[in-house]
């Protein structure tokens, strides 16, 4: 199993497992924008390498200023972190919940971080006939039992959104039950704005709702680590009180500033590419007997045709230089579930060709 650290994108483990050079893999196990970083970001970084002799801004002021203008939120409502993972850590440290709720299957970090901080984890399960979502009634009951609840929007690994009406209902329930609702929007930028179900414009109504977002996926800078949380100023202050000084490095902040100023063309090209290539992958995989969940993000949850197990397919494709994410360890899913990123046209065609050969070898 390649996910020894709980995530995809582990090229070093793959190289050791399959005897190939790290640079030779087509990595479908990490959900990063196939266009790569905006050219403007790379140019800014190249010109700023000499700045590494200076400490980064501990207040993240310029980045927060640009972000606040873009999202139309006050800077007091923003906490910047070393990726969305640090933001989640700061939420748990700053709010100090004793019981955390999650909706399985979901991003493994919700449970992992909670357990690292000795927090009890309670869960409900999404239903396959609801595209792995749970009902608002089931989530509402969970809200009554916990101090804080994580919900993916769109959820990882299935890429499905809850409706805005459902989110508003849950946010109101959280207010009434004095529970914090943490909405993980790490992949929401891959959904066109007109179809995004986000509480961003409603955030002032809900003092106990937090939105966590990532800059690393959409702008393809995972090696730099940059994310942020949007919430009530009191929550932001609690998070910042637990943050290590200079946890966000200067190049990450500069990349974030450049990314936010990269313009609408990069966003348009990304959304168009993901939408078109998602269709190609869904059609190709369905034709091979796979079941594909109808997600909206830049990745797909796939159930392989019998008798294939995720661990076997992962190895077969790995030996051919393609990496996929096994989802067999996700509670609620089965041994045949995998997740693949939506990549560019050429890479996706290679993937469909190779997986067809693998499946037909046994069929």
Q: Are 327 and 8 in contact (CB under 8 A)?
A: no
Q: Are 226 and 69 in contact (CB under 8 A)?
A: no
Domain segments of the chain as ranges:
11-30+264-362, 39-260
Closest CA to 207 of 185, 229, 180: 180
From CA 205, how far away is CA 175, in angstroms rounded?
10
From CA 282, how far away is CA 305, in angstroms rounded?
14
pTM score, two decimals? 0.95
- Give the side-chain half-sphere CA count within 13 A for 208: 19
**Encoding tokens for residue 17?**
């497992």
Per-residue pLDDT of the chain in tens (363 residues, 90 and over written 9): 565 555 666 788 878 878 888 788 899 999 999 999 999 999 999 999 999 999 999 999 999 999 999 999 999 999 999 999 999 999 999 999 999 999 999 999 999 999 999 999 999 999 999 999 999 999 999 999 999 999 999 999 999 999 999 999 999 999 999 999 999 999 999 999 999 999 999 999 999 999 999 999 999 999 999 999 999 999 999 999 999 999 999 999 999 999 999 889 999 999 999 999 999 999 999 999 999 998 999 999 999 999 999 999 999 999 999 999 999 999 999 999 999 999 999 999 999 999 999 998 855
Q: Are 127 and 133 in contact (CB under 8 A)?
A: yes
Q: State the CATH architecture for 39-260.
A: 3-Layer(aba) Sandwich (3.40)
CATH number of 11-30+264-362: 3.90.1150.10
Q: Is 41 left (phi over 0), alpha (psi -120 to 50) or beta?
A: alpha
- In the sheet with 78-81, reading across from the earlier edge strand, the strands are 78-81, 227-230, 209-214, 180-184, 148-152, 99-104, 120-125
């Amino acid at each position: 199993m390649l996910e020894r650290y709980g995530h995809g994108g582990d090229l070093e483990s793959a190289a050791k497992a399959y005897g190939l050079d790290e640079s030779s893999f087509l990595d479908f196990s990490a959900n990063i924008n196939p266009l790569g970083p905006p050219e403007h970001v790379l140019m800014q970084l190249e010109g700023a390498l000499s700045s590494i002799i200076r400490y980064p801004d501990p207040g993240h002021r310029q980045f927060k200023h640009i972000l606040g203008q873009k999202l139309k939120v006050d800077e007091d409502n923003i906490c910047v972190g070393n990726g969305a993972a640090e933001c989640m850590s700061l939420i748990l440290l700053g709010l100090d919940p004793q019981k955390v709720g999650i909706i399985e299957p979901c991003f493994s970090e919700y449970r992992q971080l909670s357990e690292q901080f000795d927090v009890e984890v309670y869960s409900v399960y999404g239903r396959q006939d609801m595209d792995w979502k749970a009902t608002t009634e089931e989530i509402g009951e969970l809200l009554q039992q916990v101090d804080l609840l994580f919900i993916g929007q769109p959820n990882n690994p299935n890429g499905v959104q809850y409706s805005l009406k459902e989110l508003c209902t849950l946010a109101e329930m959280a207010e009434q039950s004095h529970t914090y609702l943490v909405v993980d929007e790490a992949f929401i930028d891959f959904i066109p704005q007109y179809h995004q179900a986000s509480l961003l414009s409603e955030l002032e109504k809900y003092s106990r709702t937090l939105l966590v977002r990532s800059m690393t996926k959409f702008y393809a800078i995972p090696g730099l680590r940059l994310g942020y949380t949007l919430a009530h100023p009191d929550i932001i202050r609690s998070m910042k009180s637990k943050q290590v000084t200079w946890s966000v490095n200067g190049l990450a902040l500069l990349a974030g500033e450049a990314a936010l100023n990269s313009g609408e063309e990069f966003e348009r090209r990304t959304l168009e590419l993901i939408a078109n290539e998602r269709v190609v992958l869904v059609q190709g995989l369905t034709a091979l007997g796979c079941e594909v969940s109808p997600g909206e993000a830049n990745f797909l949850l796939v159930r392989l045709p019998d008798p294939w197990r995720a661990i076997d397919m992962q190895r077969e494709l790995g030996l051919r230089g393609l990496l996929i994410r096994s989802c067999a360890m996700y509670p609620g899913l089965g041994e045949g579930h995998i997740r693949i990123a939506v990549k560019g046209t050429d890479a996706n065609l290679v993937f469909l060709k190779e997986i067809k050969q693998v499946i037909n070898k046994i069929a």
